[in-house]
A and B are shown apart, each in its own frame.
Chain A
Amino acid sequence: MLVSTKTSSRSSSSGENLLTALCQWLIPWSPFEKVVAEFGRIALEFLRRGSSPKIYEAAARKLCVPVDMVQHGVEGLMFLMTESSKHMISEVDFLDSVLDLGFGDELHQILVQLYLQHKRPIRSILSQVPSTLPAYQNLEWRLDVQLASRSIRQQVIPTLTMRLLLTRGCDGGSSRVLQTDPSTLLHLISTLEVALAAMKTSHSRRILRNIK
């Protein structure tokens, strides 16, 4: 089993349990490819938004099976999809992995299609998981000139007010309101231009080219 051999020992033991559950769950349903495809869709939805016990219950009622069985099956599918996407295994390797599960050919093909269709979105979801830092989304700005205040009249203080929009993982974004003065603004621009130029140096380009 290619997928489980590549994972760390801790996750592979739980992963194997999940895959066993997946087998137990899929075998009785294997003639119903549509059901499998539908559950694949649910598995992906859960990866994106988190699982929902209500959906497990509804599905279990429809299929007249225990809730546990549905839950294990979907979790097994989720594990199969995330591990395969994580290592970005090829179509052939994926098929090799699922062949071991002993489903029918048609079901194997459905799983391969499911993997090929969804590996990019899954990787993009996974790539958001580890970043503890928020990511840049947008910057809105406004130029203000302070003319007077309670403590002093007749001022001319140019101020750049900015709203920095950031995203953090899958859960929405946040924004920060900041301000700066014109000379600091020029300093910020020149510093960040140096940062951009660093990407184009031969040093950076060599690293980017060689680590693939």
Chain B
Amino acid sequence: MELSESVQIGLRSFADPSCLDHTVFPALVDASFRSLLSAHGDPGVLDQPELQHIDRVLLKQSHAAAATFILEATKHNADRSTISSCLEELNFSAERIEIFYNTYQTHKKELARLLASIGKRAPHVNDVSWRLQYHIKNGQVDKVNEPSYLISLNTENEGSSEDVNFTCTMEQLQDLVGKLKDAAKSVEKASQM
């Protein structure tokens, strides 16, 4: 993990007991993780009572450095020894490394999921609804008398949802389901490799 000068400075003050004492340290570690996990970055994350008496500049520097470190560690899926050696170099005590690592372990999975969701992708299908109807006649044609399905795929893309609607006959729906089943079989086979 490569850390820039400013991140290293921020982490050194984070590690320093004369800057952040033992009650402030866990509160700030917790706030740093929470700020990454909360939707749209909660602006009040540094407003807790434990952090009120700390110099705001020092607090923000430490917070920014910790957040960067957490993201880098998650990005590279850093293990315990990597994190420990990295923090030791920045003068973290064993006790502080332990607190940091435990919190990291708690949130790692959720953070990784969040990071994996960043980036452009096709709309994601979450659900499907259907309706079966019997088409009898319309303005153009009499005596149609054909059953048909209305299918609505509920998709989600970058937080906004959209329905993809289409009609199909029973044969077409059988074709669609057949293809989805083929795909499911491939997924199963691939997962056994």
B58 within 8 A of A: no
Q: How far is the CB of B122 from chain A (nearest CB, A)?
A: 5
Beta-carbon contact of B177 and A160 below 8 Å: no
- Say which one of B15-23, B97-105, B134-142 lies at the interface with A: B134-142
Instruction: State in angstroms the CA–CA spacing of A140 and B131 once bound together.
Output: 23
Closest to B131 in A: A195
Q: With A178-B122, A186-B184, A195-B173 given, is the CB distance from A158 to B191 under 8 Å?
A: yes
Binding site for B on A (CB under 8 A): 82, 85-88, 123, 126-127, 129-131, 133-136, 138-139, 141, 143, 145-146, 149-155, 157-158, 160-162, 164, 166, 176-182, 184-189, 191-193, 195-196, 198-199, 204, 207-208, 211-212
B177 interface neighbour in A134, A187, A193, Cβ under 8 Å: A193
Contact A196 B173 (CB under 8 A): yes
Main secondary structure of the interface of A (DSSP, over half): mixed
Q: Using CB atoms, name the residue of chain A closest to B125.
A: A180
A199–B183 touching, CB < 8 Å = no
A151 near B124 with CB under 8 A, answer: no
* Complex interface: chain B residues within 8 A of A207 (CB): 134
Contact B180 A130 (CB under 8 A): no
By a CB distance below 8 angstroms, the chain A residues around B161 are none
Given the known inter-chain contacts A204-B132, A208-B147, A211-B136, please indicate yes or no for A152 contacting B75, CB distance below 8 A: yes
Known: A151-B118, A185-B183, A188-B128. A135 touches B141 (CB 8 A): no
Q: Does B43 lie at the interface of the complex (its beta carbon under 8 Å from any beta carbon of A)?
A: no
Shortest Cβ distance from residue A78 to the other chain B in the assembled complex, whole angstroms: 13
Of the candidate stretches B4-12, B88-96, B164-172, the one touching chain A is B164-172
Q: What are 9 A-B pairs at a CB distance below 8 A?
A: A136-B167, A136-B173, A152-B112, A154-B76, A160-B187, A177-B122, A186-B184, A198-B132, A204-B132
Q: Which residues of B contact A212 (CB under 8 A)?
A: 145
A49 to B172, CA, bound (A): 26
A165 vs chain B, min Cβ distance (A): 10
Query: Which residues of chain B have C-beta atoms less than 8 A from A85's C-beta?
Result: 141
Q: How far is the CA of A65 from the CA of B151 in the complex (A)?
A: 52
Is A130 a contact partner of B186 (Cβ separation < 8 A)?
no
- The answer to whether B190 has its CB under 8 Å from any CB of chain A is yes
**B147 and A204 contact, CB distance less than 8 A:** yes
* Cα separation A26 to B152 with both chains bound (whole Å): 49
Alpha-carbon distance between A204 and B164 when the two chains are bound, in angstroms: 26
Q: Which of B137-158 contact A (CB under 8 A)?
A: 138-145, 147, 149-151, 153, 155
Is A179 a contact of B183 with CB atoms below 8 Å? no
Contact B164 A176 (CB under 8 A): yes
Would you give the shortest CB distance from A152 to chain B, in whole angstroms? Answer: 4
Docked-complex contact B118 and A149, CB < 8 angstroms: yes
A182 touches B184 (CB 8 A): yes
Instruction: Give chain A residues whose Cβ lies under 8 Å from the Cβ of B155.
Output: 178
Partner of B116, one of A157, A158, A177: A157
